[in-house]
Amino acid sequence: MIISGSLTIWIQSANFIQQPLLIFMSSMLTPIPLALAQANQEDIHNSLIRFQRLHARRLLARLVSALPILLILNLLWMQQQWLIEVVLMSILAVVSIVAVKTANLKTVFISSFLVSLILVMVQSLQTAFLPVRALPLQITCTGLLLLGIAWSSSWRTRYTLVLTLLAWSLTYLSCFWWQGAASAQSLFESYYYGWLIILGILATAFSYSQRRKLLHDIHKNEIIEASNSMLSELQELLMDVKVRAASIQRHLDKVSETRNTTLQMLLHDLNGFNTSIQSGVDLLKDDHLTPQQQQVVALIEKANERFAFFAKKMAKANMDDQQRNSFHYAEFDINRIVSEAAANLKQVAMVHQVQLQLQLQPGILPVYLDEQVTYQLMYKLLSNVIRLSDVGSTVKIVSGVVGTDVVITCKTTGNLIGQAKLDEIFNRLQQAATGDRDLTEVKGLGLSIARQLTEKMGGHLHYESNDAHGNAFTVQFPGA
- If we measure between CA atoms, which residue out of 397, 370, 369 comes closest to residue 383? 397
Q: 416 and 317, same structural domain? A: no
The H or E element spanning position 304 is: helix 291-325
| 154 φ/ψ angles, rounded to the nearest 5 degrees | -100, 130
- Determine which helix (DSSP H) or strand (DSSP E) holds 355, and give its type and residue range: strand 355-359
Residues 142 and 287 both lie in one domain = no
Note whether 306 and 339 are same-domain residues: no
Q: Are 278 and 304 in contact (CB under 8 A)?
A: yes
Indicate which CATH number applies to the domain containing 352.
3.30.565.10
In a domain, 236, yes or no: no
User: Does one domain contain both 386 and 273?
Assistant: no
* Sequence letter at residue 397: I
Helix axes 135-151, 155-179, angle to 10 degrees: 160
Q: Are residues 300 and 358 in the same domain?
A: no
Find out whether 375 and 463 touch, Cβ atoms under 8 Å. Answer: no
Rounded CA separation 341/335 (Å)? 10
Q: Is residue 139 part of a domain?
A: yes
> Angle, nearest 10°, between helix axes 82-102 and 135-151?
20
**Judgement on whether residues 279 and 359 belong to the same structural domain of the protein:** no
34 neighbors 71 (Cβ within 8 angstroms): no
Q: Which domain holds residue 274?
A: 259-325
Give long-range contacts, CB 8 A cutoff, 24+ apart: 260-266: 260/318, 260/321, 260/322, 263/314, 263/318, 264/318
308 and 376 within one domain = no
- In this structure, the answer to whether residues 410 and 443 fall within a common structural domain is yes
Q: How many CB atoms lie within 10 A of CB 416?
A: 15
Residue where a domain terminates, one of 181, 207, 226: 181
Does residue 137 fall inside a structural domain?
Answer: yes
pLDDT of residue 409: 92
475: left (phi over 0), alpha (psi -120 to 50) or beta: beta
Q: Is residue 412 in some structural domain? A: yes
pLDDT for res 202: 60
The predicted structure's pLDDT at residue 26: 36
Domain check: are 24 and 171 in the same one? yes
Quote the radius of gyration of the chain (alpha carbons, Å): 43
Predicted pLDDT of residue 250: 75
CA distance 180 to 90: 31
293 within domain boundaries? yes
CB 262 within 8 A of CB 318: no
In a 13 Å sphere around the CA of 446, the CA atoms on its Cβ side amount to 21
pTM to 2 decimal places: 0.38
Angle between helices 155-179 and 184-286 (to 10 degrees): 150
Q: Which of 325, 344, 377 is a domain's end point?
A: 325
Report whether 104 contacts 85 (CB < 8 A): no
In order of 372, 454, 464, the CA distances from 423 in angstroms are 27, 17, 9
Of 166, 181, 196, which residue constitutes the final position of a domain?
181
pLDDT of residue 466: 84
Mean pLDDT per block of 10 residues along the chain (480 residues) reads 35 34 34 36 46 48 50 47 51 52 49 52 50 50 60 62 62 55 47 53 61 77 82 76 77 74 70 74 72 78 77 68 65 91 87 88 88 87 87 90 90 84 75 46 65 86 85 88
Closest C-alpha to 196, from 118, 119, 125: 119
Cα separation, 269 vs 248, in Å, equals 31
Beta-bridge mates of residue 475 = 408, 461
pLDDT score at 474: 92
* Residue 188 domain flag: no
- Domain-located, residue 209: no
Residues 442 and 358 in one domain: yes
Q: Are residues 267 and 139 in the same domain?
A: no
Q: Does residue 246 fall inside a structural domain? A: no
23 and 89 co-located in one domain: yes
pLDDT at 19: 35
C-alpha torsion sign, points 204, 206, 209, 211: negative
**19-29 vs 2-14: helix axis angle to the nearest 10?**
170
The count of domains in the chain is: 3
Contact 388, 363 (CB under 8 A): no
